[in-house]
Structure 1
Amino acid sequence: MTDAAHASHKILRLEVRGGFWDGLEMDFAAGLNCIIGARGTGKTTILELCRHCLGQAPIDDPQREQQLTKLIKANLDRGTVEVVIETRDGMIYRVHRGATGDEPEVSDQRGSPVEISLHRGQVFAADFYSQHQIEDIAISPRAQLAIIDQFITDEIAEIEPERRALASDLEKNSADIHRLRQAIADREEALAEIPELKKRLEALDVGGEQADDINREVALKGSRDQEKRTIKRADETLAASLDKLEDLTRTVKSFGRLVERSEGENAKLFERLQLVLEQAGNDVAGQLGSARKLIEETRASVEDLERELGEAHAGQEQRYAELLQKHQDAQAQAREGARLQARLNELLEQKRQVERRRQELNELTKQRGNLLDQLSELHDRVFALRQRTAREISARLEPDIRVGITQFGERVDYADCLRDALKGQGRHYNALVSRIEQNLPPRELVRLLERSAVSELATALEIRDEQADWLIDRMRAAEDGKLLLDLEALQLEDRPKIELCDGGTYKDASTLSTGQKCTTILPILLLDSDRPLLIDQPEDNLDNAFIYETVVRNIGAVKAKRQLIFVTHNPNIPVLGDADAVFVTESDGQHGKLRTNGDVDKLKLEIEQILEGGAEAFLERKRRYGY
């Protein structure tokens, strides 16, 4: 949770050029901002223009993202929107974007482009919630998890690069293991021919006075085949090493581009960092150049030896041919012996390749275990952060609301993966999928499947051995064995549980009425954070008593530390929340216009007219209530 003295991100200004809101200019306050106006005057569009400009579309909800894209295109047309932001570090940037899918363009206060990205919220982040989205959060574990993560953005950002790197390494490891397993399987059937070839060679009887000489020449011819393969393999290995060194050279030469231009007070330090990296890249590239030269010289020597070997082979082949010419009766047997020996040598070379691949596979399997362990450790760290945050939220909101979290509790992706593997098999597999995802984590399931542990699997899932045997065969065969690698690498997400105390009993938010869902989620959103909070009609589905007793109270507690920008039709929010800035919108149906703006005292007549229904309506309610 954000400390009271902790600086926060802010949206300072919004400018629109073109479209429905052409000419709009809004300067937001650091505290509570309320946008009011009659329905259809474009209030929602203002929030969504801010969201669009900052590149914070809800990418985890394709349908909502598509809706917002249509809204932006319809209201911005060929125009542009610019948002001025201030980071919690005090840096001010201008963010510019058109209606198309182009990325936001970021510049400094003077308008000079800066190479920073707003993705992942590491430079700047804000929390946007469209109308009815709060209700949707109550039924979406992923959305609830995202809310928890918003309170620990910095801590997760520190872990995320390592997690992404490990996930990338694991993906490559999976591809390499699958490739090696396929290569080994493709060769094993042919290798079964080796014992038979050896028997046939031993049984082959050339005969005649020169039998020993002919048999020796046949064996030497086989050795020459093996020699050619050996020198060819050496050359191919050297060539592949040169390619790898070339790729590595390009990588180290780009070290200097790792540093993004800094506009902050530590810019000089980052200039020095860039120089250090560039120098290191040049030094390493020089060393790699020396290594390349050495390999190229070695390859040239190998080519010389290959030519020398070819000359030697030519003379030896001539001798072999002359010997066969002298002994016409042994030619057929000799040629058959040469053919069998060549085939045997070919298979023995393939066997050596398979053995090398098995060794490589063993190394990759060990590496895979380490990668999985490291990912699991990172997940444990993230879970500990989430668990701490859930406890802090509960401490702030109990007894009304409590938040818990279960590690690896979100298993939808796991179940979907299992269903995809088992569907179309003519069996009722849904019950089996449910047993698996409830009782066996992916890694443990894969361990049992790879060992063909029928009895253990049957016991763990409480099924018959016959079913376990079928499951093992099906899962191991799926996608040529790749499914097991994918399952083993599957990272289960944590699952939050947000509950409301209703009549002394805690109830899961997903089971509540629409109003109760909002009653449960909104107080969490209104907790202090360093990210601006933008909500379209936070009062939806809430009664005025809750708005006054909870929403307004929470606004008062947080607005000094967190910027709030709300579209609202409820007078309690700007009036009792003591809005620092109120913006009044109007429209002629073709274009929106900012009629006026100011603090809540300056605009009390507009608030009274738009949100209270006018003075007469307000006084009539007062009379009816007997005040």
Structure 2
Amino acid sequence: MVNTYTKARFWKCALQVNPAGYIAYRGTDHGMTEEQYNQELVRLALENDIKVVGLADHGNVDGVDAIRNIMNQNGILVFPGFEIASCEKAHFVCLYPEDTTTVQLHRYLGDLQLLDPEDGVCPSSLSAQQLLQKVENEQGGFIYAAHCTDDSGLLKLRLNHIWKNELLKAAQIPGALDDLKNEVGNGYRQILLNKDPGYKRELQIGIINAKDVANPGDLANPKASCLIKMTKPSFASFKLAFQDPESRVRLNSDVAEKYYSQLERMKITGGYLDGIEIEFSEHLNSVIGGRGTGKSTLLECIRYVLGIRPIGKIAQKQHDEIIKENLGKTKARVELTIRSSDMNGKRFKLSRRYGESISVQDEEGKPSAFTPVDLLPGIEIYGQNEIYEIAQDANSQRQLLERFLEKGLTDVEKAIHEAIGRLSENRKKLVEAQSGVSVIEDEVARLPKLEEQVGQFKTLGIEGKLKIVPLLETEKRLLKRVLEEEGPNLKRGFLAIQDCLPDTTFLSDVALDKLPHADNLREIRAVLNTMRTETEAILQQWLEKYGLWETQVTSFAKNLNTGIKNDEDALEKTFKELPACEGKTGKQIGIEYQRLMQEIERIRPKQTLIATRKQLLSELHNQRRMILVELSAKRAERSAQFERTLKKLNKRLTGKLRLQIKTEANRTPVIDFLLGCRLDGVGEGRLSWIREADTFSPVRLAELIRAGTEALRDEKWGITPTVAEALVRLTPEKILELEEIELSDSIEIELNTAHEGQENFRPLNKLSTGQQCTAILHLLLLENLDPLIMDQPEDNLDNAFIADRIVTELRSAKIARQFIFATHNANIPVFGDAEWIGVFEASDGQAHMPANSQGAIDVPHVRDKAADILEGGKAAFNQRKAKYGY
């Protein structure tokens, strides 16, 4: 962009610079010729970044041209003028436009009626009131009260009627405003802050530092200059700044470095916004233009290159349509340069062509792995009506407040989610263990019947002959455990050690190269390698021994199997010798008895297993109770911390909003869960007691369900018999799931609807749409290091609130945060004093925003366009002014 004057910024101005001969008035000498003096003035002005100089010799303008010429050659603007005293002997400095000639200055001086034109120190015969009238209204100059707290100053002379004159726009003080705190009664400071009733002004005075520069070295003193906000330094912009001194006039001592992210530059190639180039201000930016000129498109392009999706479905659809229509046809490209506070002020360039992924480059132009979310984690972008969507959704409101939460609260939230995860795992184990116990209990329950059957066999007189059968079954069970569990388990345990042996590849020579203590790390690597080598050797020795043990066990097992088989073969003969009974041969009876004993031997050990499983169940239940206690404590801690955060926010929102926490008030998840269980005869209406109960919690409800219908009825929650009967029929697993439901805290937001006078706070759901959106905007304007971007916030806002509240907040918040608004409302760019206003126009199906349509309200073209677009033009504005009677 060729034109660099496209946004307002603070320019350093030294407004009481004297020519070479002035020092003689003080009876001293700087020892320089006029040319040397002027050269030194220029050098020090450049060195101290002074862009504007005001010349103010006592009643003398002879040195103006020499200084002005050399300053102008070096890009420094000069406002010629002089210092003069009124007949009350109060001193003033009078400055004039940069092109005012020396001849005109002499005429102005003559018109101000100095008592002795040859002695500029002598006062004028005009009063201070007359001087203000002459300089401001007749000569078109600018006049300020010089050293107003000194002996010849306006305040020292107690000329309060002059102080309150609206033609007086500025007053010079010797240093910082806080330096006047020690002044008797804090009087001067109270007057300068416009808090003294006797000196109260409609427009607060502009406070400046402009120490007399009698020697070039004085320019280096911070008290010799002040900061004036202008798009391009000019006398017209300079004078306009004092119409809004709160925003546009600062002392050097007022400037505190603020660290926050910002969008710096934007460029669009192709599409409806082809050729648009913008250098945003770090403070307040306003995009204006007629409908359909491209305001919303510009903001949606920012959203597109950042890869941020809108909140609501309607907003998402609108975003996709705008991007497709304005970028899609020509595969246009958006490029954005940002400064990231999260990355310690580093700059990154983001770019995205339609249909492609986002590209991120660092300051050196190299590809970066960071995403836009990494760089601007707190950036907020809201399209038309998105604020309204937030105002209707409690979860969105809570998300909005989460950025103010203390880090400890984030840790608590994490601990709560982890605890719920452990509850879920515990439930799965409980269900599995309970199921296992049930199966085993069913099998063990068969033992009495099986043993009774054994008794029947005893009546046949065959017990003595078959007494070896249960013994052989016991031996087979024991041998099976040896072969399948004990030995193999031991081997698996040892082999698992191999997976845990030290791996020193992470300590390679390449990894240690250039590390300051590489030798120490190499020594550690050597020990780890030795540990691995010796452990592997021990493992090998053990495996060899295990092989021997395994061979021995296998040999003994073979002998045992042979013995069992021999005994079972002998049983075959015994079976044949058994007497027949009830149509069954002896062999059939023997085999049946053998199978019966096999089943008994299989089941009998499970009696011990039941006790073990029940002990496991007991331990799991105890674990669950401990997790629930921990969860309760963490939830209480979360609510307490959240409440502390809200108290801090309430202090910052005094007179605007009031926030109150309602602990675990969102009970919809419980209702949804129970409806999903499809309880007989229970619809949503019969569960309304869940929302209405004062002491409700999912854990308490689970306890009552386990206790039965009477307990549910006795809790005084208003549960009907039908619902109670349905609840107690929930499966144990569902009751456990119920305990795991997380209820979020809800935030009650109340807005002070009184414009002035006594506060009147009303809850969000009792407000009009405009008031609801105003409440949300108050939250959006709270501290955040990343930019806030909004499309036509006034669409759903009360206009009076914009003027009275929002603009006031913007003026203070923009010092520490960047704002970009597309708007039709004059209050935001004009009274918010936007540092950058971009005026969109459209012709031949193409949007335009040339450099001369960018700047602050002090740029004539921007000012005129703003009046046409936002006010309907000068005639319409004046007509409204007349009708209102202002």
> Equivalents in 2 of 1:30, 1:421: separation in Å?
55
| Cα 1:123/1:578, change in 2 over 3 Å | closer
Mapping of 1:530-549 within 5 angstroms? 530-549=785-804
Q: 1:126 offset after TM fit, Å?
A: 1.0
Give the CA deviation at 1:357: 4.1
Aligned to 1:87: 341
2:273, 2:847 within 8 Å by CA — same for their partners in 1?
A: yes
Q: How far 1:553 sits from its partner (Å)?
A: 0.4
The verdict on how the C-alpha distance between 1:453 and 1:44 changes in structure 2, with shifts beyond 3 A counting, is same
**Residue matched to 1:493:** 744
Aligned counterpart for 2:288 among listed residues 11, 25, 36: 36
Q: Which amino acid aligns with 2:714?
A: T
Higher normalized helix content (fraction of residues):
1
Map 1:282-297 → 2, pairs under 5 A: 297=543
Amino acid at match of 1:455: E
1:291–1:179: structure 2 CA closer, same or farther, 3 Å change rule?
A: farther
Q: Distance in 2 between matches of 1:10 and 1:292?
A: 63
Shift of 1:539: 1.4
- Cα distance in 1 between the residues matched to 2:415 and 2:814: 35
Q: In structure 2, which of residues 424, 442, 446 is the aligned counterpart of residue 171 of structure 1? A: 424
* Change in CA separation of 1:6 and 1:374 when aligned onto 2, cut-off 3 Å: farther
1:314 aligns to 2:561 (yes or no): yes
Shift in Å at residue 552 of structure 1? 0.8
Match of 2:643 in 1: 387
1:257-315 per-residue CA deviation (whole Å, 9 max, x = no partner) reads xxxxxxxxxxx99x99xx99x98xx99x9699979969994986886577446524530
Residues 473, 513 of structure 1: alpha-carbon distance in 2 compared, 3 angstrom cutoff = same
Q: For residues 150 and 56 of structure 1, do their structure 2 counterparts lie closer, same or farther at Cα, with a shift above 3 Å needed?
A: farther
User: In the alignment, is residue 610 of structure 1 matched against residue 865 of structure 2?
Assistant: no
Question: Of residues 351, 356, 366 in structure 2, which corresponds to 1:112?
Answer: 366
Q: How does 1:156-235 map to 2 (within 5 A)?
A: 156-159=409-412, 161-205=414-458, 211-212=463-464, 214-229=466-481, 231-234=483-486
1:237-252 aligned within 5 A:
none
Q: Indicate whether 1:601 and 2:853 are aligned.
A: no
After TM superposition, the structure 1 = structure 2 runs for residues 266-415 of structure 1, keeping only pairs within 5 Å, are 297=543, 304=551, 307-308=554-555, 310-327=557-574, 328-330=576-578, 331-348=587-604, 354-415=610-671
**Paired residue secondary structure (1:496):** strand
Q: Kindly report which structure 2 residues correspond to 1:412-431, keeping only aligned pairs within 5 A, or say none.
A: 412-423=668-679, 425-428=680-683, 430-431=685-686
Give me the whole-angstrom Cα distance separating, in 1, the residues matched to 2:686 and 2:765: 24
Give the drift of 1:321. 2.7
Cα 1:64/1:570, change in 2 over 3 Å = closer
Amino acid at match of 1:36: I
Distance 1:464 1:585, change over 3 A: closer
Partner SS state of residue 490, structure 1: coil
CA separation of 1:157/1:340 partners in 2, compared to 1, >3 Å: closer, same or farther?
A: same
Structure 2 vs 1, CA of residues 127 and 355 (structure 1 numbering), >3 Å: closer, same or farther? farther
**CA offsets 1:132-188 (integer angstroms, 9 cap, x no match):** 222232232112212221222755445555455444444333333333333334443
**Code of the aligned partner of 2:871:** E
Alignment CA distance shift 1:563-1:455 (3 Å) = same
Counting only pairs closer than 5 Å after superposition, residues 511-526 of structure 1 correspond to structure 2 as 511-526=766-781
Shift of 1:562: 1.4
Distance 1:73 1:507, change over 3 A: same
Structure 1 residues 130, 487: CA separation in 2 closer, same or farther (over 3 Å shift)? farther
Pair 1:446 & 2:702 matched: yes
Where 1:410 maps in the other structure, the secondary structure is coil
Amino acid at match of 1:7: Y
Cα deviation 1:528-570 (Å, max 9, x = unaligned): 3323212211212334332111111010111101111111111
Answer with 465-474 or 527-536: which moved more.
465-474
Map residues 570-609 of structure 1 onto 2, 5 A cutoff. Answer: 570-587=825-842, 592-596=847-851, 597-602=854-859, 603-609=862-868
Instruction: Say which of 79, 103, 128 aligns to 2:381.
Output: 128
Bigger RCO of structures 1 and 2 (CA < 8 A, at least 6 apart): 1
Please, which moves more after superposition, 195-204 or 344-353?
344-353
User: 8 Å contact 1:10–1:532 — kept in the other structure?
Assistant: yes
* Residue aligned with 2:366, SS: coil
SS of equivalent residue, structure 1 residue 146: helix
Instruction: Quote the offset at 1:457 in angstroms.
Output: 1.8
Task: Note if contact 1:81-1:96 (Cα within 8 Å) is conserved in structure 2.
Answer: yes
Task: Tell me, yes or no, if structure 1 residue 140 matches structure 2 residue 390.
Answer: no
Once residues 140 and 110 of structure 1 are traced to their aligned partners in structure 2, the CA distance between those partners, rounded to angstroms, is 43
Larger Rg: 2
Identity %: 27
CA distance in structure 1 between the partners assigned to 2:767 and 2:495 by the alignment: 61
User: Given the superposition, is the C-alpha separation of residues 166 and 579 from structure 1 closer, same or farther in structure 2, using an over 3 Å criterion?
Assistant: same
Distance 1:515 1:170, change over 3 A: same
| Alignment correspondent of 2:265 | 13
- TM-score of the superposition, structure 2-length normalised? 0.59
Kept in 1: contact 2:305–2:350 (CA 8 A): yes
What are the Cα deviations for residues 62-82 of structure 1, in whole angstroms up to 9, with x where unaligned? 564455445444544355544
Structure 2 alignment gaps of length 5 or more: 1-255, 508-513, 579-586
Which residue of the other structure, out of 300, 308, 312, is the alignment partner of 1:48? Answer: 300
Answer with 570-579 or 609-618: which moved more.
609-618
Task: Say if 1:411 and 1:437, in contact at 8 Å, map to a contact too.
Answer: no
Q: Name whichever of 436-445 and 353-362 sits farther off.
A: 353-362
List per-residue Cα deviations over 1:333-360 (Å, max 9, x = no partner). Answer: 4422332233234334555555444444
Assess if the C-alpha contact under 8 Å between 1:10 and 1:85 holds in 2: yes
Q: Distance in 1 between matches of 2:420 and 2:341?
A: 30
TM score, norm. by length of structure 1 = 0.80
Residue 790 of structure 2 aligns to a residue whose secondary structure is strand
CA offsets 1:396-418 (integer angstroms, 9 cap, x no match): 33444311111111112122112
Task: Give the direction of change, closer, same or farther, for the CA distance of 1:551–1:345 in structure 2 (3 Å limit).
Answer: same
Instruction: Give the 3-state SS of the residue equivalent to 2:659 in structure 1.
Output: strand
Cα shift at 1:192: 2.0
Structure 1 contact 225–342 (Cα < 8 Å) conserved? no
Equivalent residue letter for 2:571: L
Q: Cα RMSD over matched residues?
A: 4.4
Q: Which amino acid aligns with 2:433?
A: L
C-alpha separation between the residues in 1 aligned to 2:500 and 2:387? 49
Q: Deviations over 1:411-447 (max 9, x none)?
A: 1212211222245x13456323534773430111122
Report the more deviating stretch, 550-559 or 62-71.
Answer: 62-71
